[in-house]
Amino acid sequence: MSNKQDKNCIFCKIIKKEIPSDVILENKDFIAILDINPVNKGHILILIKDHCKNLTDFPEDKGKELIIFAKKISSAIVKATNADGFNFSMNNEAPAGQMIFHAHFHLIPRFKEDGLRHWPHKKYLDGEKEQLADKIKKIMEK
């Protein structure tokens, strides 16, 4: 296990087994646990063991391992819950719904009639889409 932990972080405490959890899968980099407040039953959180806040400081070299880890779990939760699909997501910062500031990913089993709604869509004004695309590209060039 890494030494990069935050002694005040609830997820770091779960990783160190100071707080009990229902561990689904664990390896040297990640631990998957059942969410105690699930969106749907079978909702799993994948925690990176190194403490980092969100995607902006998530270690790039762990991306492939994360996907392999998530794929294994997603197939199992779909079968175990008889789900019709699943969401794989991450909330980044409070306005996006992040409540615990330790990078973690959600695997949520989904069902045709689960009552969850998709996000509403918005429209761009004339020329706004192209201006925003250019602005994003210029920022990334820096």
Task: Please identify every residue annotated as catalytic.
Answer: 104
> How many Å apart are CA 119 and CA 24, to the nearest integer?
29
> How many Å apart are CA 89 and CA 7, to the nearest integer?
26
First to last CA, the chain: 35
Q: Which candidate, 102, 91, 90, 106, places its Cα nearest to that of 14? A: 102
Is residue 28 within 8 A of residue 34, CB to CB? The reply is no
